[in-house]
Amino acid sequence: MIIHPVLSWLNEWWQGVVATYGLPSCFVPAAQMVVHAILIGGFIAVLVLFLIWLTRKVSAHIQQRFGPMRVGWHGSVQTVADALKLMQKEDTTPRSCDRPVFNIAPFLAFAPTIVAFVVIPFGDGAIIRDLNIGVLFLFAITTINVIGVISGGWASGSKYSLLGGFRSAAQLVSYEVPLVLSALGVIMLAGSMKMGAIVDAQSRIWFVAYQPLAFVIYIIAATAEVNRTPFDIPEAEQEIVAGFNVEYSGMKFAMFFLAEFANMFLIAAIAATLFLGGWRGPWLPGEFWFLAKSFAIVLLLMFFRWTYPRLRVDQLMSFAWKFLLPLAFLNLIITGLILVLI
Amino acid sequence: MATDTAIHTQEFQVNMGPQHPSTHGVFRMVLTMDGERVVDCEPHVGFLHRSMEKMAENRLYIQFLPMADRIDYLSSLFCSVAHCQAVEQLMEIEVPPRAKYLRTMFMELNRIASHCIFFGVFALDLGAVTPFLYGFRERELTMDLLEMTTGQRITFNYPRFGGVAADLPDSFFAVAEKFLKVFPGRITDYERILNENEIFLARTKGVGVVDGARAINYGWSGPNLRASGVNFDLRQNMPYEAYGELGYEAVVLSNGDCYDRYLVRILEMRASHALIKKCLEGLPDGPIVKEKVSKFPKVPAGEVYARVESPRGDYGLYLVSDGTNKPYRYKLRTPSFNNLSMIREMLPGVYLADVVPIFGSLDVILPDVDR
Amino acid sequence: MRVFRAIGRLVKGTWWLFVGMVTTTKHFLRRAITIQYPKERFEQWPRFRGRVAMVAGDDGGHKCTACAQCIRVCPAACITLERHKEGGVKGFVVDGYVIDIGLCIYCGLCVEVCNFDALAMVPEYEMSVYDKAELVYDIPKLLSRQLEPEFKK
Ligand code: SF4
Ligand code: SF4
């Protein structure tokens, strides 16, 4: 309701420009893409800065501390200061590393996250590409960032990061399955993989009411997917120091960090779209509702993180395969049965 | 391996420590790993060796008193009380009852402080950050009480030969009252967060099991021993200071796994809380230090073994005096060293992720190991 | 039976996970207990042992009689005293009295053994300097901070 008019106005204006100056027509989609890329990039940058600040504040208050208080109002610009600090840091490359892989890994981890934002409906019509395979695209593209993590862990030439990378791979492969299965229930209900259609299907009742089990499975699997406690074993600092990013510093480390936080929001945004009615809500603009729902889930993840201990790697696996997966199948079967019977 | 179809894996070595974030100080383990499993562990201690024993032998008895606090800085009062006890036994000094009660009370406070840290650090070892800060929060309360009386928060230098250095200040009772009131609720908070938490149970139950016989063989003591089902607590079995009058029943659990080692300490915090209450209620009047004990005593020749139940176990001090004003031999039997000695046997076969909780559950502190 | 037990365990586990969350949420809503250090400071307890200081006598000078008891007891050997005998004066005359605060372990034994109340521990704890030499406190520096009345025994 806010973004959509702006985007279409921009689009029309540019079309006008192209028409007036007689430029080739392929300039229209090209410019559109550039605008969208800038929008997403800017959004992610602001979002991550805010999320990091939020994490610090939430964790601090859970622990009865203040958290950052010095830079800006209640430390609100602290993350900006930290980002500047990270940029100034020396970008060290360990001698035993696999240089090209080591250098490209942070970008491999970060890029899929940006791409995934393409199909997120931020509001009414505020979706960049409402692909007809939206959900599939999302899960496919977010899985790619594990390649970045593995290659980062492998290329660092450190045993800790190697362990971290492989833990991450094993974890992602296991949790991807229940994650997708839990989303399947929603897709069956909506009858479409299009994000817009899924949101539209929830105009009366949110899918979380029909699919509570799937929602729980989704939240658990998603927590594991983005390596948050209690499933943060790939970067368990008490065991393997910092896991895959132990050798990274400066901007490359910031990339991993950025990817982690952007992923967290992404997972929450998907949950909001699939289960909580997306941008739908009374009175206020859809963008507000979308952000409110996403941040509610982000907060939930944060509370998980600051409350629970971490699982062990084998427990993590058996939890995924022996517990979540059967449950997800059960949910799927029940959903299918009900759909057929009704 | 009977057939050759088995997957062959390559073992590799991981160097854990001395700067690893969770080795609780400067402890180094060279772990031989097979994937995520530990095959062998080679512990290296001694990074924090300060030659405390030799230092004691080169100093007057009173001069070593503040240094003894630094042997185990999380439970420093115990070390200096043991030092005083040894000297008192050789000089045959009877400590006035009020001093005994004060020592007992502050030792229990110090025990709470130490166990609070254990609680926090153990949770941190398992990846839960928040309990760490909760533990430190309660430790501040106990340290406030200690600071009011002794003047310092960690290295108290409180006991003296024949008594203690200072009596309670007037404001002590109000603050202590408040502490005694809030503390049980705080322990309940701890229990709510961890005790029944499925993840915590999964991580600690049945991990690092040590049975009583093996624990005794390795000279374990303290909460670790009691978690293995051995009912031995110096406060109960060989009471010293005011424990005999107060009466104390040891907390004993039976499973000997990480969870029980954790639970023993949580229960001991409650027991200590009760002891402090009893101490404050039954605090006798009278002098706090025996009259006419020189500050620079010449200790009669002889040898003595003084032991106290520190939060980590049986802290022993073997003191040989040759009649001068310096110890002739000052041998420490620190509980952490003995508790740590089994680590090499406990680790093979466990997952890398369990190494740190097992190590953490022993609650060793490296200055106490290396002294 | 096994199914029931499993369900029971599931419910119990979920319940305790929930209780944990409630506990942290409760703390989340409480006030923070830390303080903003350079802006706010703790009030020290009256007995707090900060650094060693010399107690000023009525004339504003120190009260030390150069008996060297403090030197004898100091475990860190951080006190240096220069003294000489002078005809007509009983005891010694103090030429210089220096404490190396960088070595001091704040044990308070020197204060305890001094029979002339010449030393005290003042509640000062911010003593960082850029040069080690500044940590060597001579008589004027040792006299520079005195106990506030409430801190006196
Ligand atoms: S003990 Fe007191 S009087 Fe004696 S030298 Fe030391 S400060 Fe001076
Ligand atoms: S406080 Fe202790 S270490 Fe410091 S000068 Fe006095 S006796 Fe020496």
Closest CA to B70 of C98, A225, A42, C75: C75
Question: C27, A63: Cβ pair inside 8 Å?
Answer: yes
β partners of residue B30: B15, B42
Report the residue count for chain C: 153
With pLDDT > 70 as the criterion, what percentage of chain C qualifies?
96
With pLDDT > 70 as the criterion, what percentage of chain A qualifies?
96
**Per-residue pLDDT for C127 more than 80?**
yes
E strand or H helix at C54 = strand C51-54
Closest residue on chain C to B186 (Cα): C23
C128 CB within 8 Å of a chain A CB: no
Mean pLDDT value of segment C135-152: 75
Q: Which atom of ligand 1 is nearest to the CA of C81?
A: 5
Q: How far apart are CA A26 and CA B234, in angstroms?
A: 86
**Per-residue pLDDT for A283 more than 60?**
yes
Q: List C-alpha distances in Å: A92 to A102, A244, A249, B327.
A: 11, 15, 6, 53
* In CATH, C51-143 is 3.30.70.3270: yes
Judge if B6 and B113 occupy the same domain: no
Task: Give the pLDDT confidence of C26-41 residue by residue, as tens digits.
Answer: 888 888 888 888 888 8
**Per-residue pLDDT for C153 more than 60?**
no
Q: How far apart are CA B258 and CA B10, in angstroms?
A: 30
Task: Give the pLDDT confidence of C56-65 residue by residue, as tens digits.
Answer: 877 877 888 8
Interface confidence, given as ipTM, is 0.82
Mean pLDDT value of segment A15-34: 77
Longest dimension (CA), chain B: 81
The DSSP secondary structure of B46-71, one letter per residue, reads -TT---HHHHHHTS-HHHHHHHHTTT
Judge if B5 and B96 occupy the same domain: no
Q: List C-alpha distances in Å: A53 to A68, A128, B133, B140.
A: 8, 27, 19, 27
Q: For a substitution probing ligand 1, which of C97, C116, C138, C139 has the most ligand atoms within 8 Å of its CB? A: C116
**Per-residue pLDDT for C152 more than 60?**
no
Which segments of chain B does DSSP mark as H helices, in order? 52-57, 61-68, 76-91, 97-125, 130-150, 172-190, 198-204, 212-217, 223-227, 234-237, 243-246, 258-281, 335-340, 343-346, 352-361, 366-370
Residues of B in contact with A160 (CB under 8 A): 14
Q: Across the 371 residues of chain B, what is the mean pLDDT of every consecutive 10-residue run? A: 66 79 78 83 85 87 87 86 88 86 89 89 84 87 87 86 84 88 88 84 85 86 87 85 83 86 89 88 84 80 88 88 87 87 84 84 84 79
Closest residue on chain B to A236 (Cα): B127
Side-by-side strand order, sheet with C136-137: C79-85, C92-100, C136-137
Q: How far apart are CA A201 and CA A192, in angstroms?
A: 9
Mean pLDDT value of segment A26-30: 75
Q: Which domain holds residue B35?
A: 1-49
β partners of residue B314: B309
Judge if B154 and B45 occupy the same domain: no
Q: How far apart are CA B120 and CA B134, in angstroms?
A: 7
Q: How far apart are CA A5 and CA A327, in angstroms?
A: 43
**What pLDDT is recorded for position B299?**
83
A90 CB within 8 Å of a chain B CB: no
- Number of CB atoms found within 10 A of residue B230's CB: 20
Q: How far apart are CA A56 and CA A58, in angstroms?
A: 6
Q: What's the gap in Å between B149 CA and the centre of ligand 1?
A: 24
**Per-residue pLDDT for A87 more than 60?**
yes
Q: What share of chain A is helix, strand, coil (3-state, %, to 5)?
A: 75, 0, 25
Task: Give the pLDDT confidence of B337-351 residue by residue, as tens digits.
Answer: 888 888 888 888 888
Residues of A in contact with B13 (CB under 8 A): 159
And the tokens for B46?
């001694």
C2 CB within 8 Å of a chain B CB: no
Q: Which long-range contacts does A314-322 make (Cβ < 8 Å, 24+ apart)?
A: A314/B36, A314/B351, A315/B202, A315/B203, A316/A171, A316/A174, A316/A224, A316/A231, A316/A233, A317/A170, A317/A171, A317/A174, A320/A174, A320/A175, A320/A177, A320/A178, A320/A221, A320/A224, A321/A174
Judge if B42 and B149 occupy the same domain: no
Does B55 fall in a domain?
Answer: no
Question: C107, B198: Cβ pair inside 8 Å?
Answer: no
Does B357 fall in a domain?
Answer: yes
Q: How far apart are CA A51 and CA A79, in angstroms?
A: 9
Does B129 fall in a domain?
Answer: yes
Judge if B10 and B105 occupy the same domain: no
**What pLDDT is recorded for position A237?**
67
Judge if B35 and B134 occupy the same domain: no
Judge if B25 and B168 occupy the same domain: no
Residue B275 belongs to domain with CATH number: 1.10.645.10
Does B322 fall in a domain?
Answer: yes
Nearest CB partner across the interface for A66, out of C27, C30, C36: C36
Q: List C-alpha distances in Å: B24 to B27, B110, B357, B359, B362.
A: 7, 19, 11, 9, 11
Judge if B276 and B358 occupy the same domain: yes
Task: Give the pLDDT confidence of A104-139 residue by residue, as tens digits.
Answer: 888 888 888 888 888 888 777 667 777 788 788 888
Q: What's the gap in Å between C110 CA and the centre of ligand 2?
A: 5
Domain boundaries, chain C: 1-33, 51-143
Instruction: Verify whether ligand 1 is closer than 6 Å to residue C67 (CB atom).
Output: yes
Judge if B270 and B169 occupy the same domain: yes
Q: For a substitution probing ligand 1, which of C67, C83, C138 has the most ligand atoms within 8 Å of its CB? A: C67
Q: What is the mean pLDDT of chain A?
A: 81
- What's B195's DSSP letter? I
Chain B positions touching chain C (beta carbons under 8 Å): 59-60, 62-67, 130, 134, 137, 144, 147-152, 155, 157, 165-166, 169, 189, 192-194, 196-199, 295-296
Q: How far apart are CA B350 and CA B333, in angstroms?
A: 29
Task: Give the pLDDT confidence of A312-338 residue by residue, as tens digits.
Answer: 888 888 888 888 888 888 888 888 888
Q: What's the gap in Å between B280 CA and the centre of ligand 2?
A: 31
Does B368 fall in a domain?
Answer: no
Task: Give the pLDDT confidence of A238-273 residue by residue, as tens digits.
Answer: 666 777 777 787 788 888 888 888 888 888 888 888
**Per-residue pLDDT for A75 more than 60?**
yes
**Per-residue pLDDT for C147 more than 80?**
no
Q: Is the pTM of this model over 0.80?
A: yes
The total domain count for chain B is 2
Q: What is the mean pLDDT of chain C?
A: 82
Question: A61, C28: Cβ pair inside 8 Å?
Answer: yes
Longest dimension (CA), chain A: 64
Judge if B4 and B78 occupy the same domain: no
Judge if B11 and B106 occupy the same domain: no
Closest residue on chain A to B135 (Cα): A63
**What pLDDT is recorded for position B1?**
44
Alpha carbon A259 to its chain's center: 8
Closest CA to A210 of A329, A340, A341, A339: A339
Mean pLDDT value of segment A167-178: 83
Q: Which of C17, C42, C47 should be substituted to probe chain B, the one whose Cβ sees the most B Cβ atoms within 10 Å?
A: C47
Judge if B205 and B99 occupy the same domain: yes
